[in-house]
Amino acid sequence: MIGFETIGNATVIVFDGKPLLATDPWIAGDAYFGSWGMRYVIPAEQKNHILECEYCWLSHGHPDHTNAASLDLLAGKTILLPDHEGRRMEKDLLQMGFRVRVLKDREWVQLSTHVKVMSIADYFQDGILLIDVNGRLLVDLNDATDRGWGGFVRKIVREYPVSFMLKLFGYGDADMINVRDESGKRLLPVAPTHDQASLDFWDRLFVEKLMHFAHLFGTKYIIPFSIFHRYQRTDSAWAEAYTTPLDKYDLFKTAGVEMLPAFIRWDCETDHFERISPPEAPLQLKSPEDFGDDWNQNLGVEEKRRLVEYFTRIDFLRSHLDQVDFVVGGERIPIVMNPVAKTGRRITFETPRASLMAAVDYQVFDDLLIGNFMKTTVHGNWGHGVAPHILYEHLTPFIARYADNAGLRTAQELKEYLSLYMKRSPLDFLLHRLELETIQRVRRYVQPGTRLGRIATRAYSFIKR
């Protein structure tokens, strides 16, 4: 067959007579310190196809895409990576003994007679992959958001009569949503399971997202993607109410774009497809202790030192935060970023010891955020936004993307880093940064889901198109 299959969480299996390429194969183990498990069982046939592939594409370092237990099964394959500044993933995988090939940005690479790929890396350390299979285009956006590459991708899409967009869409749980204000109120609208009005609210937001991206990229088809997880830790199980049922994609109806089933086998010679029907994985809630976490454990003296050092060495955080507090085993550990209050913002994280120290030692703090068992409280002037976006202007990218993934520490390093990405496509980058600044300003004052928020969203979609 010349074609592709979709399966698992964010996996495309590409065939050119035989299995050739698999993307982001989460095929074993858990993610985010055990908080996430796979929602669907990967059938033996598709799992074997993944294991038979010559190439494996890893888009970014999150454990539902680059999964440690799954990597153990991928020995001998050529790992394809985006061309990121800092090259953390490349260095880590080479140290583990993998054969790695970094794909040069925005250039087609022929993998076989009927398959070529193009990688695009962005400054958030996300990567997308365009896959040409016998003249059909797969736009694998996984979790990525347009950060200056959208216009370039739209131009390529227009060259293909048959194209598919594979991207995360959902209510928004696949990010840090366990955020509260000082009164203890969670900064998130009530779950869609609460009542009909709440369900209508979330469904409307979900459909608006789908409509925006459907019109933005203009692919002929959309395939649900990168959203097939469930919460399995008892201390994060509350977030299961915010996950998106697969049948919600049936709400999407628009002329010129067809929503396909999530799991399919598509023949790129005949343009016919058949469904793959994986069984849903049984849900078994597990305690934090099953993953080495005990909420009653305190940090040792050396662990406190490593925790304080982890944050204080990120120098550019000082222009965004005055203090970071951790509550571990009931004990508060203050980390002073600015001895004299400078920003008017503080943040408190309450989290168990083992996963916290793993996040610090392995520099994967985003895994704690996305796991949604860590409790986060914001103090001071963070604007009027809701989770997860309330953290994006002053916290998440600076720790997770720039410090952990890119290895940056100072404001000068960050400035030089961003300039390197700007040089790849100067006009696109500058327009994106202007757009991002505008969005952040709007989010400070406009709540999503309100009448004003919906007007702003529709205006933004219109301008982008």
Distance spanning both ends of the chain, measured CA to CA: 36
Contacts of 177 (CB under 8 A, 6+ apart): 188, 239, 242, 372, 387, 388
Residue 44 is predicted with a pLDDT of 98
Phi, psi of 194 (to 5 degrees): -70, -50
In this predicted structure, the answer to whether residue 152 has a pLDDT above a threshold of 90 is yes
Domain map of the chain by residue range? 2-281, 290-412, 425-464
Residue 448 is predicted with a pLDDT of 57
pLDDT tens-digit readout, 155-174: 999 999 999 999 999 999 99
Virtual torsion, Cα 143, 246, 68, 124, nearest 10 deg: 10
Instruction: Please identify which residue in the block is written with the tokens 């609208």.
Output: 189
Contacts of 3 (CB under 8 A, 6+ apart): 14, 15, 133, 134, 265, 266, 267, 268, 269
Q: Which two tokens stand for residue 135?
A: 């003249």
In this predicted structure, the answer to whether residue 446 has a pLDDT above a threshold of 80 is no
Residue 449 is predicted with a pLDDT of 57
What burial class does residue 339 get, using C-beta atoms within 10 Å of its C-beta: 0-12 exposed, 13-18 middle, 19+ buried?
exposed
Instruction: Please identify which residue in the block is written with the tokens 């720790």.
Output: 399
Q: Which two tokens stand for residue 29?
A: 């183990």
More reliable by pLDDT, 449 or 77:
77
Residue 90: how many other CB atoms lie within 10 Å: 18
pLDDT category at 147 given cuts 50, 70, 90 is: very high
Instruction: Please identify which residue in the block is written with the tokens 């408190």.
Output: 348
Residue 436 is predicted with a pLDDT of 77
pLDDT tens-digit readout, 295-322: 999 999 999 999 999 999 999 999 999 9
pLDDT category at 189 given cuts 50, 70, 90 is: very high
Q: Average pLDDT of 204-215? A: 94
Residues 440 and 392: beta-carbon distance below 8 Å: yes
Residues 117 and 131: beta-carbon distance below 8 Å: yes
pLDDT category at 286 given cuts 50, 70, 90 is: very high
Compute the mean pLDDT over every residue in the chain, rounded to the nearest whole number. 94
Residue 384 is predicted with a pLDDT of 78
Rounded to 10 deg, the angle between the 150-157 and 196-217 helix axes is 70
Q: Which two tokens stand for residue 450?
A: 């309100």
Q: How far apart are CA 181 and CA 167, in angstroms?
A: 31
Q: Average pLDDT of 395-423? A: 97
Q: Average pLDDT of 21-32? A: 98
pLDDT category at 206 given cuts 50, 70, 90 is: very high
What are the beta bridge partners of residue 128? Answer: 120
Closest CA to 359 of 396, 398, 301, 310: 310
> Residue 240 to residues 231, 232, 244, 431: CA-CA distances in angstroms?
6, 9, 9, 37
pLDDT category at 444 given cuts 50, 70, 90 is: low
CATH of domain 2-281: 3.60.15.10
The structure's pTM equals 0.93
pLDDT tens-digit readout, 361-398: 999 999 999 999 999 999 999 987 888 989 999 999 99
Q: How far apart are CA 259 and CA 219, in angstroms?
A: 10
In this predicted structure, the answer to whether residue 284 has a pLDDT above a threshold of 80 is yes
Q: Pick left, alpha or beta for residue 203 (phi over 0 → left; psi -120 to 50 → alpha; otherwise beta).
A: alpha
The pairing of strands 272-275 and 323-328 is unpaired
Residue 457 is predicted with a pLDDT of 54
Q: Among 30-39, 205-214, 357-366, 447-456, where is mean pLDDT lowest?
A: 447-456
pLDDT tens-digit readout, 224-269: 999 999 999 999 999 999 999 999 999 999 999 999 999 999 999 9
Residue 108 is predicted with a pLDDT of 98
pLDDT category at 411 given cuts 50, 70, 90 is: very high
Q: How far apart are CA 208 and CA 458, in angstroms?
A: 8
**For 255-383, where are the E strands, in sequence order?**
258-259, 264-267, 272-275, 323-328, 331-336, 345-350, 375-380
